[in-house]
Amino acid sequence: MSVTDKRSPLPDVARDEPASIALPLQWVGMCGIALPLRLPDGTTLPASAEVAVDLPDPQAKGIHMSRLYLLLDTFAGRSRLTPAAVHELLRQMRESHADCQSRAALLRLDFALLQQRAALVTPALTGWKSYPVSLSAQLRDDTLDLRLTVSVAYSSTCPCSAALSRQALQDAFATDFAQHEAIDRDAALGWLARHASVATPHSQRSQAVLSIAVSGDAAQFPLVELIDSAEAALGTAVQTAVRRADEQAFALVNGANLMYVEDAARRLQQALEARFAACSVRVSHFESLHAHDAVATAATPGWQELLR
């Protein structure tokens, strides 16, 4: 008989010992788990995961974290990221803890989606943009809740600042041409070339965090559709590779889409509600005028964040 055969069974404290304080726990699990994610098109992305189950049995010492980890590892190796695959993973997580009386399972996946974007004007000029994505999924009894969240960066130009800049330009023009009964076209164009930037409106990089509810029956998560609908509604998505013509075009779209944080939130919410049954929006303008940010939120009536 080997030394290994003589060893006693390894202790299982989580299974064999009762809790020192008899209380149920809402969620128990792990976060910050590194794993590869495969999208439906076969693309593999690095991701970070959080997994958890509820612990309603007040006497249970703890859950079996290795079971959750192994299920997640199998999911990463064999499945592609679809609502059906996520639903099945949650079901397996919950069933793996039947001895803890678990009725609910939770999954959160965080990753960055790379998308190639074309320049505004220059043909065949493209660059890559990274979009932070978060998928929150919860299965409780027979109810599946899937929430997809994407962050989109854009430019916002202040309408008030633009109006003040126009007035400053008008005042400067009126002062310099006060003695002219008639204004020569070439003289006016020359003056504008030298002085049209006497005042400029402030603009800033801004961020929209967009969340939608996804049906468990959906064939896939509408990642690109969500991003495209948001950028189309705003009109001022940040650019990648640009030439001077593209930079001028960007200045033009900013001038055509002056917006307060309230305007951006309303545009986005209207665009998302036209496509998705339930959604929420949070926008932040990282003010260049102030040392603080401007923020606004909107949501479909009845929208609720996943309980953590």
Full pLDDT tens readout for the chain, 308 residues: 565 567 788 777 777 777 778 899 999 999 999 999 999 999 999 999 999 999 999 999 999 999 999 999 999 999 999 999 999 999 999 999 999 999 999 999 999 999 999 999 999 999 999 999 999 999 999 999 999 999 999 999 999 999 999 999 898 888 888 888 888 898 889 988 998 888 899 999 999 999 999 999 999 999 999 999 999 999 999 999 999 999 999 999 999 999 999 999 999 999 999 999 999 999 999 999 999 999 999 999 988 754 44
Q: Are 253 and 235 in contact (CB under 8 A)?
A: yes
**Amino acid of residue 174:** A
**Amino acid of residue 250:** F
Is the same domain home to 180 and 145? no
Task: Report, in angstroms and rounded to the nearest whole number, the Rg of the chain calculated over CA atoms.
Answer: 27
CA distances from 222 to 50, 151, 214, 218 (A): 21, 14, 8, 9
How would you classify the pairing of strands 143-157 and 203-214?
antiparallel
Is the same domain home to 130 and 221? yes
In a domain, 144, yes or no: yes
Is the same domain home to 190 and 206? no
Distance CA 48, CA 141 (A): 26
In which domain, by residue range, is 178 found?
168-195
In a domain, 65, yes or no: yes
pLDDT at 253: 98
In a domain, 109, yes or no: yes
Phi, psi of 245 (to 5 degrees): -65, -35
Distance CA 208, CA 193 (A): 35
Distance CA 56, CA 230 (A): 40
Tokens (6 digits) for 231: 């950028």
Overall domain count for the chain:
2
Q: Give, rounded to a whole angstrom, the gap between the first and last alpha carbons of the chain.
A: 50
In a domain, 115, yes or no: yes
What are the start-end ranges of the H helices in the chain? 3-6, 13-16, 65-78, 83-95, 159-176, 185-195, 223-234, 244-256, 261-273
In a domain, 6, yes or no: no
Return the closest-CA partner of residue 133 out of 147, 144, 145. 147
In a domain, 126, yes or no: yes
In a domain, 213, yes or no: yes
Is the same domain home to 250 and 121? yes
Q: Are 84 and 137 in contact (CB under 8 A)?
A: no
Beta bridge partners of 226: none
Is the same domain home to 40 and 98? yes
